[in-house]
Chains A and B, each alone.
Chain A
Amino acid sequence: MSIDGATTPDVRAEMLKGAQSLATPAPPSNARGITSDLSVDEALLLHAAGWEPLDLVCGVAVVSVPVGVWNWGRGAISLASDAHDAAVDQAARQLRGECSKVHGHGVVGVRVEVAVRTHHIDVELVGTAVRPMDGKDPRGADAAQAMPFVSDLSARDFTLLQRAGWIPVGLAFGASFVYAPRRTAGAAMKQTTQNVELTNYTQAMYSARESAMEKMQRSALQVGGQGVVEVKVTEGPMSFARHAVGFTAWGTAVRLMADAHQFVRPEVVLPLDDAVVTFEAESLRGGGGGRRR
C-alpha cells in the first residue's frame, strides 16, 4: 500500500518479525538503553524531523520562603517571587546538566510542576533529552551541547516550530505574588450598599499580572529568545494564606533561525466521520430526528 510515495508496512508481517526477534534470547548488551516519556506518535514525529530521544531527564529544586512573608501587608510579596525564580532557575540548570551529560542538544515536552507552600517553593521539571540524528544543529553542535534548550513544547509543536524556521531556546518564567489589598473600615462601610469598582483590587491584580508577564519576557530575553510561545498563566489565592494571590506565567522562548519565517501552509481537510448524525433511520418510526452520539 502506498500513500503519497510512502510505503505502509504490512503490519501482520511486521508483528511476525517482531515475535521472531523475541524467540531467541537477546545477546548480552552493555548498551545504555534509551529512556523517554514520549508517546510512539511523538517519537515517530521527532524521527521524521531528524531528531532522536536520548534519555528521560529531570531537574528539581526546593527553595525556602522566609517566615512571615505571607503575613498581612501591602503590595508585592517580592521575597516569594524571588524564591520562585530561584527554584525555577536551579531546576532548569539541573535539567540542562542532565541533558548535557547524555550529549543532548535540548529537552522537549518538559512537564512543569510548581508547588508553593508556606515555607518553601518546589519546582520539578521532567522531559526527554533529544539530539539531531545527523549531529547538525542550527545553533552549532558545540553551542547546543554547552547550552541545551529547555522547552515545554510537545514533540508535535517542536517539529512544527522548526519547520517554520524557529527554534526553542529555553523556558521563560515569571511569577508575582501580591497581598489582596484591604479597604479601610470607613471605605468598606461606605461601599456596602454600592455597586462600585474596587480600584485598589483592580490595580493590585493588574499590576501583579503584568509583573509576572514582564518577568517572563525578561527571562526569555536572557536566554536569547525573541519571543515566547505557548504561554500558560495560572493565578489564585494561596491555600494557606487566602489574602495573598499568586500569578505565574511560563512558556517556551523561541528564536528565528531561518532568514525569515517559513510559512507552514496547512491543507484543509473535511473529515467524513462527522460526529453529528443528521439523519437516523430510526427517526422514520416517529419520535425524534438526528442525535449526537
Chain B
Amino acid sequence: MRGEPGSGAGATTGGGAASDLPEAAVRRLESTAFSSGLTVPDFAACLDMGLQPVALVQGFCVMQWGWYGPGSGYMRGMSPYSGGEQTPGAYSEIYRCPHGYVSNEHRMWGQNLEQPWVEGAWAQGYGAAYSRMLEEAGTHGAHGVIGVVDRVSNVADTGTTEFHFLGTAVTVEGGPPPAGGVPWSTYLAGQRLTKSIEAGFMPVAVVAALASVRVWAYCMTEYYMEGTMGWGVPGEPRLVEQVSKAHMAVRQLARKHVRQQLAGDELHGATIDVVTRELSQGDEVVDCTLRGNRVRRFKDFDQVVLPRPTVRLA
C-alpha cells in the first residue's frame, strides 16, 4: 500500500497489507501489450505530451458500512447526552431549549456534531483503493496515472460500500521518476491535461475528503422543520439556524480536510456533493464529499492573450 489521496509522497494508509494484488492483475501487468482507458483523442494528446501509456490500472476496496449499525465500534455519536465535543478539535455546537422544563419528551438539548469516525472510515476505504491503483501503476514503473475515474457505490444490498479507482498509468518520456517513487495522478486527460501543463500546473494527486455532521435537533429545530413555532402553532418563516449551520459546517469541514492534503499546492476543478439523510423530528446526517485535482505550479503563467470572440457560421 502506498500513498493516500493527496499525499503524493508516500504517506501510508491502514488500507491493507503490502503487495496484495490479485494474481490475474500480476499476470495482466506482466503482459507486453499496453492497455488504456483513454479515448482516441485523449490517447493522441497523451502521446503529443510525451506521455507513454503503460497499462489500465485499478484499485478496489470494499468496506462494511456498519458505521451506524448496532454494536458498531463507531457508535460514539449515539450518545448525544455526553455533551460537548467528543473528539478533540472536531466541530461541535450545542443548542439549548429556551422553554425550560416542559416534559420528559421535550427536546431540551441539541447538538451539531462532526463524525470523525465516519470520515476516517471513508478515508480508509478511499485511500486503500487509491493506493492499490498506485501500486499497480508503480509495478509498471509508471510515473503517473491520468484520466482517473473514481466511484463510491453500494454493493448489491449487502450494507457494504465499494471504492473503485480506474486510470491509465503513463511514463514521461525521458522524465525522472517522482519523488518517493509514488506516481502522480489526475482526473484530467487529453487536451484538458495539455492545457493544464501549458499553463504551468503539474498534477500531483487526486484529492478527496468526506465530511460528516450529525444533527441532533433541539426543540426549536424540531418545530421549525415541522413548520410550526411549537405545539402545532404555525408562525412566520424562520431561519433554521441549527440545520443551516450544520450544512455550512459540513462543506467547510470538507474543504478543510482537502486543504490539509494540499500542503501549499492548489486544487483545481473541485466538485462538491452533499447527501442529506433525514432521520426524524429534525435529526439528520449531512455528508459532503469534495474532490479535485491537486496541482503544483512549476512555472509562472505565460502571458495569456485575451481570446478573440468569434461567431461560428456553421
Interface string of A219-248 (1 = CB under 8 A from B): 000000000000000000000000000000
CB <8 Å contact, A33 and B197: no
Given A11-B194, A25-B180, A40–B49 Cβ distance below 8 Å? no
Q: Which residues of chain A have C-beta atoms less than 8 A from B270's C-beta? A: 35-37, 56
Contact count band on B: 35 or more
**B195 near A: Cβ within 8 Å?**
yes
CB <8 Å contact, B266 and A34: yes
Residue in B192, B262, B298 whose beta carbon sits within 8 Å of that of A17 in the complex: B298
CB <8 Å contact, B179 and A22: yes
CB <8 Å contact, B199 and A124: no
**B50 near A: Cβ within 8 Å?**
yes
Nearest 7 Cβ contacts at the A-B interface: A29-B264, A18-B202, A83-B237, A67-B227, A19-B175, A33-B262, A119-B227
- Separation in Å of the A120 CB from the closest CB of chain B? 6
Task: List 5 extra interface pairs beyond A58-B248, A119-B224, CB under 8 A.
Answer: A11-B198, A15-B172, A19-B178, A269-B311, A269-B312
Residue in B236, B267, B301 whose beta carbon sits within 8 Å of that of A33 in the complex: B267
CB <8 Å contact, B179 and A39: no
Question: Which of the segments B25-33, B150-158, B239-247 contacts the partner chain?
Answer: B239-247
Residue in B143, B188, B194, B262 whose beta carbon sits within 8 Å of that of A19 in the complex: B143
Complex CA distance for A67 and B172, rounded to whole angstroms: 63
Complex CA distance for A118 and B239, rounded to whole angstroms: 15
CB <8 Å contact, B176 and A19: yes
Q: Which residue of A lies closest to B9 (CB)?
A: A25
**A31 near B: Cβ within 8 Å?**
yes
Interface string of A1-44 (1 = CB under 8 A from B): 00011111101101111111111111011111111111111011
Ordered by A's residue number, 29 sampled pairs between the chains whose C-beta atoms are within 8 Å are: A11-B198, A15-B197, A18-B197, A20-B175, A20-B298, A21-B296, A22-B178, A26-B9, A26-B263, A32-B264, A33-B264, A35-B255, A35-B258, A36-B266, A37-B269, A48-B307, A56-B272, A60-B248, A62-B244, A64-B237, A64-B239, A66-B234, A66-B236, A68-B227, A69-B234, A120-B224, A124-B247, A268-B311, A271-B314
- Separation in Å of the B107 CB from the closest CB of chain A? 16
Interface string of A77-101 (1 = CB under 8 A from B): 0010011001100100010000000
Complex CA distance for A37 and B255, rounded to whole angstroms: 12
Interface string of B270-314 (1 = CB under 8 A from A): 111010000000000000001010001011011111111111111
Q: Which residues of chain B have C-beta atoms less than 8 A from A271's C-beta? A: 312-314
Complex CA distance for A62 and B235, rounded to whole angstroms: 16
CB <8 Å contact, A64 and B255: no
